[in-house]
Amino acid sequence: MFKRIGIVVNQKRKDIFYHLNSLVKWLQEKRIEVLLPLSIGKEGSYRELIVDEKRMNKADLIIALGGDGTFLRAARNFSPYNIPLLGINLGGLGFLTEISISNFKSELEKIIEGKYKIRERLMLETSILREGKKIKSFLSLNDVVISKKALSRIINLKTSVSGEFVTTYAADGLIISTPTGSTAYSLSAGGPVVYPDLEVIILSPICAHTLAVRPLIIAQNDEIEVVLESSLEDVMITIDGQIGFTLKEKDKIKVSKAPYKAILVKREKKLFFKVLRNKLGWSGVTYKTS
């Protein structure tokens, strides 16, 4: 039973507080304590629900109210505390969000009654070293992308896996993805769809200069090291498509399995391949051959 539920939201949506009000009211009717982060502001009648980071980290469940972007942010913020995550989708593609706002009451009722399953997802930890010193570190659920900011020459990325040189990618960039993120940017760059429960890491070059370069799947315990060997001033690293940081020549990027996982609350009957068919428009029709 979830007795204390924290809610994070996509505040950029104009209708967010309408949906938040419905969700908060319904949870309070169930006598569930609701926690809202300081970032939500002093909107309406929510002042008494706004708590600091320490109290948010004591929640039994975090609900991400928005889309996949809201869920990714929640995963980075709360996975280190082993708090289960549930996404309520307000529209859009929604690979990570589990239930729709249109039927949240019936679906959330089942989850509160214990009719759910837990799935643990691999996360990545990324460190940036400049002149031998760590200057930044990040956590991600979907992917780490090294790419050009704008149209320019290709960049060279010297890449090794667990100390063994792989190749120097001459490309527009490189995507390092988890299985969860395999249906995101990696997929559009020609990467494989990977079953999300698998514990592997995917390397997908972006518009590689040679056709011989293909996506690569490696073990979860491998450490990836990428050295930027281009002097361009418009190369950056992007975390989950949300956090950006400008790189310099000879910067070293190290990516490995994070020390903790994202804990996802999933409906009992939701199936991965059904989601793929619905989200990617795969046909379930059988065609007859003559």
pTM confidence score: 0.91
pLDDT of residue 284: 63
Q: Which residue has the tokens 């020609």?
A: 190
pLDDT of residue 40: 80
Residues of the chain with CATH 3.40.50.10330: 4-122+261-280
CA 52 to chain centre: 24
DSSP letter for each residue of 109-163 = HHHHTT-EEEEEE--EEEEEEETTEEEEEEEESSEEEEEESSS-S-EEEEEEETT
Residues of the chain with CATH 2.60.200.30: 124-257
pLDDT digits over 181-222, tens only?
A: 999 999 999 999 999 999 999 999 999 988 889 999 999 999
- State which amino acid sits at residue 96: L
Q: Averaged over 116-126, what is the pLDDT? A: 96
pLDDT digits over 128-158, tens only?
A: 999 999 999 999 999 999 998 876 688 999 9
Q: Averaged over 13-35, what is the pLDDT? A: 92
Q: Averaged over 101-106, what is the pLDDT? A: 92
Residue 237 in this model has a pLDDT that exceeds 70: yes
Q: What is the CATH number of domain 4-122+261-280?
A: 3.40.50.10330
Q: Is 203 helix (H, G, I), strand (E, B) or coil?
A: strand
pLDDT of residue 46: 72
- What value does the mean pLDDT of the chain take? 91
Tell me the pLDDT band of 91, cut-offs 50, 70 and 90.
Answer: confident
| Of the candidate ranges 96-100, 106-110, 211-215, 267-271, the one whose mean pLDDT is the lowest | 267-271
pLDDT of residue 272: 80
Q: Averaged over 260-281, what is the pLDDT? A: 83
CATH class held by domain 124-257: mainly beta
Q: Just list the catalytic residues.
A: 68
* Residue 146: count of CB within 10 angstroms of its CB: 26
